[in-house]
A and B are shown apart, each in its own frame.
Chain A
Amino acid sequence: MEDNKCQCECGCNGRDEFLDKLCEKYEPIKDNLIQMLNEIQEHYGYIPMKAQKVLSEYLNVAMAEVYGVITFYSRFTLKPKGKYNIAICLGTACFVKGSEKLLDTAKEALKIKEGETTEDGKFSLEATRCIGACGLAPVFTVNDEVYGKATPELMKKVIEEYRNKE
Chain B
Amino acid sequence: MGLRTALRRIAATRVAVLLVTAPGATAVRLAVEAGVRRRGPAWGWAESPAAANALLVAAGPGHQAGGTLPDSLPGRLWDLLPHPKARATAAGEDEAGPALDSLAEALAAGPGWRSGSAPGGPGRQARKGAGGQDTELVAGLPMAERGDDRDGLRLDVLHLPLGPALPDWPAGLVVDVALQGDVVQEARVRPLSGPGALPPSGDALPYWDEPWLRAAHGESVSEGAAHRRRCAAHLDSLGRMLGVAGWPGPADRARRLRDAALRGAPAGVLLPGVQALRRRVERSRTLRGLVRGLGPLPAARARELGVDGPALAAAGDAYDRLLRWPTEAERSAAGVDSTALLADRRPVGPRGRLDGPRPPSRALLDALPPLLAGAELAAARLIVASLDPDPDELLGEEAPHG
Same complex for A and B? Answer no
- Which residues does A use to contact B, with CB under 8 Å? none
